[in-house]
Amino acid sequence: MYSVTVRDHIMIAHSLKGPVFGPAQRLHGATFVIDLELKRSDLDEDGIVVDIGRATDVLRKVVAELNYRNLDELPAFAGRNTTTEVLARYVFDRVASAIPSGELGPGAQGIESIKVSLQESHVAAGSYEGSLRTRS
């Protein structure tokens, strides 16, 4: 399996509901380093997984929707805890939708899976990975 990874970051504010989150139930800030890994079995006719520049642009566009925002105020997250895992899935879904729309270029149709990892610190990270072949 071939893969390409691009990286960006976001700075957000949010609060998490439920006693399991302790002091994070209060409004607080977080900075996430986000890795987007795109995978496929075979390279496209240009010998690449995907155009790295296009992948970088798509990730930048997706994270711009969240950057410097209070996630508690965004309709996309109404009634949900914006945990690292939830944010990883959000980025995954937005990037996956960029493939059929052509934002990642025509060769991106061969991408088989995506993994999105968010690292909140040097000791904690969360991710979401999914196959594009089995998505409905």
Q: What is the pLDDT of residues 78-107, one digit of tens each?
A: 999 999 999 999 999 999 999 999 999 988
Pairwise CA distance, residues 105 & 40, whole Å: 15
Tell me how far apart the alpha carbons of residues 7 and 51 are, in angstroms, rounded to a whole number. 14
Q: Which CATH architecture has domain 2-131?
A: 2-Layer Sandwich (3.30)
Q: The pTM is what?
A: 0.93
Q: What is the mean pLDDT of residues 58-75?
A: 97
The backbone torsions φ and ψ at residue 13, rounded to the nearest 5 degrees and listed phi first, read -120, 145
